[in-house]
Amino acid sequence: MVSTSFGTTLVAVEGSTYPVALAADLTGLGAAVSAVLPPGRVVVVTNDVVGPLHAARAEASLRGAGWDPVRITLPDGEAHKTLGTWQGLVEDVLALQIDRRTPVLALGGGVTGDLVGFAAAAILRGLPFVQVPTTLLAMVDASVGGKVAVNTVHGKNLVGAFWQPRLVYAPFDVLDTLPDDEVRSGLGEVVKHAVLSGEDALAQLEADRADLNARSHEALARAVRASVACKAAVVAADPRESGVRATLNLGHTLAHALESVAGYGRLRHGEAVAIGLVAVTAYCERRGWTERGLARRIEQVCAGLRLPVAPPLDLDRSALVSAVAFDKKRDRATITLVVPAAPGRVELRSLPLVEVPALVDVLFDSRPQGPSPSPSA
């Protein structure tokens, strides 16, 4: 079987470039890895859900291109994205007596990619790293940009590193094995990227709604290409998140708080992003920072893609306020808020901590304020 290409986007960061290759299936994985690294041993790290479904095909492709894969399997799920799991993975990789030329390949979703990337960054002070994302969320977000981390009891992604992959290889046939809510989770980040990219991207997303809900590979590929292009441009301009890259956190100040307070795993990341995106846009409209009607439009896009637009009602307000105030983007007595002024135009504002309760309150409003957009919007 010949793998069909959906296109390749190059990510240029810190003097080097790596490809994000979209493909129909895993057939071309081995050749793609061999194009960026010399064949030899490769550590394939997967999880106990993805491994039985896809690891054998990935390893067969690698062997066909001259690689000698050895597999490590991690437990699946956000609850296992911990320092303990990371330490166990580091020890398992070191036990294989690898050297600094041995790549580690993450075959799984964002949790697996983050754990493996963080391990690759630390082992022998840096091993080559390959991402093979198997969820839509990982394809559009976690696999691109080099931010790898684990969660702690204090919050999400608070311990980690910047470690760029040598290759991202996204096979679309693996999405067929995902449950619908996992695909929806990926669409939450797709909506965020569309708002960041501008009117054309947002309108395309609205036009593709039915096809995306039907899980059309062509529509999903358009969404992934647009998201990767958006993120690649931002990462190239700011690889260490010292400025403009913070705009990628649109909706995330609330989303990370929602995930933490709900308990990791209750809300999928993209679902939390959708809720956070709708709420922060509504808040910014009320402050006069965002064009009227954008919150309602984003709400309709999210709802049309079957994403939640409000949090579970049983979440504790005071706990959410505390979680937002502890956001890792905090600077003394303020947090950095990403403001969607209009499609394609975002701003960073310092929000005093005393304003956080008002921001959190918007989460529990019945709907964003402002008129509905016109049908042609």
Known active-site residue 217: no
Is residue 2 within 8 Å of 34, Cβ to Cβ? no
| Identified catalytic residue from 184, 222, 245, 268 | 245
Known active-site residue 231: yes
Would you give the distance in Å from CA 186 to the centre of its chain? 8
| Identified catalytic residue from 184, 192, 222, 231 | 231
| Identified catalytic residue from 249, 285, 296, 297 | 249
| Identified catalytic residue from 166, 269, 296, 297 | 269
Across 29-56, b (16+ Cβ under 10 Å) vs e yields bbebbbebbeeeebbbbbbebbbeebbe
339 bridge partner residues:
347
Query: Using CA atoms, how far apart are residues 244 and 376, in angstroms rounded to an integer?
Result: 31
Query: Using CA atoms, how far apart are residues 260 and 44, in angstroms rounded to an integer?
Result: 30
| Identified catalytic residue from 59, 78, 189, 285 | 189
Specify the 3-state DSSP secondary structure of 367: coil
Known active-site residue 100: no
Known active-site residue 125: yes
| Identified catalytic residue from 256, 268, 296, 297 | 256
| Residue corresponding to tokens 């890259």 | 245
47 bridge partner residues:
74
Known active-site residue 241: yes
Give the Cα-Cα-Cα angle 105, 225, 227 (nearest 5 degrees).
90
Known active-site residue 269: yes
| Identified catalytic residue from 147, 184, 193, 222 | 147
Known active-site residue 156: no
| Identified catalytic residue from 156, 252, 268, 296 | 252
Q: Which residues contact 257 (CB under 8 A, 6 or more apart)?
A: 320, 323, 324, 327, 360
Name residue 95's amino acid: A
Known active-site residue 245: yes
| Identified catalytic residue from 182, 241, 291, 355 | 241
Which residues belong to the active site?
125, 147, 189, 231, 241, 245, 249, 252, 256, 269
